[in-house]
Structure formats: C-alpha cells, structure tokens
Amino acid sequence: MLLKKLKKYHVVLASASPRRRQLLEEMGIRFELMPKHVNEDFPSHLKPREAAEYLSRKKADAFSGEITKNMLVITADTVVALKNKILGKPAGKEEAVEILEQLSGNTHKVITGVTLKTPEKEITFSVSTDVTFKVLSPDEIRHYIETCMPFDKAGAYGIQEWIGLIAIEHISGSYFNVMGLPTHRLYEELTVFCE
C-alpha cells in the first residue's frame, strides 16, 4: 500500500494552496508544507496541458540542489482553458467578471500538471476535467466575486465554493482535479514512483 511505501520519504508539498494541502491530508499522506514563490510565466505558444506541466516542472526546479536524500517533492499547477485559450488568475474584480462571463453557459477544461521529484528521479503528468457552467446572471457573478474574492484562482472560481454549488451543470472527469489536485491519479503515480 502507498502509505507504507511513503514512510521512507520526507514528503514535501510545495504549494501555498489550502485546497491542495487539504486534499493531501485527506489522502492520509504525511507531509511538510514548503511553498516557494515561483514566477508563473510560461511560453505563449504552449497548449493548456503543456503549460500546466511546464509550470509544475518549473516549481519543482526551484528545489534543484535543495532536495536531500529521501525527500520527495510534490508540485502542481492548475490552468483553466476555454476553446484552447488559457484563462489565468484575475488581476481584480473587472477581470474576474470578464472571465466568468466567458465561462457562463460554456464547457471549459481544467488541467492540473503535477511533478514528483526526488534526488534520483522526476516525473510529470497532467489530468484534464471538463466543466460545464449554466448561464450566469450578472447578479450571480457579482455576488460570487464580492463574497468569495476568487482572485487567487485560475479561471476566477473555486468549484468547492458557492458558484460550484449553483452553477455547475455537468462535470466530466475528476472533481478533485478541479479543486487543484487529481488525487486518484496522484495516488496511482506515487504508488509506481515509490517502488
């Protein structure tokens, strides 16, 4: 079982996301939280899946030279894409409104790239989930932004918040991936990685 295999590692979650921390805790994995500030720019020619994986690797690369024996670093980055165009984190209320207006009545992709890194090896993978929003009214968009302040979230929303409860008509794929960590795939990848 994975949890037994992980006992030989000092697991580090390199993320400031409270959602990722919560999900890893709920998986029963013991870890140390060690976020690093990394510039989240990426080459503009990258497709959404490539961008998520690129940013995940970039976060892992920030630990190069610091990873000690038995340390296993987990990094992740989530991107939201509509018709292959990446919608980033909103800079403020107006941009959040614009993003949610684009998502309204449409299906978008949420892609999380994950990197596992030890001194000996490194792998990166990604998981994609399709999310369909109902048509949102201007009042619903404003209410959500004013009450939840989703400025730290790709695509200007969190599925676990009010907007997820009232607006998501359909989801195809992992719910937890939309929260920021594809837990099922992470478990499978860690199981193989730690052999």
Question: Could you give the residue numbers annotated as active site?
Answer: 77
Alpha-carbon gap, residue 189 to 61, rounded angstroms:
19
Token pair for 111: 């892609």
User: CA dist 83 to 33, 34, 106, 113, 179, Å?
Assistant: 34, 34, 10, 19, 20
What residues does 76 pair with on adjacent strands? 114
**Cβ contact 102:146 at 8 Å:** no
Do 60 and 49 form a contact (C-beta atoms < 8 A)? no
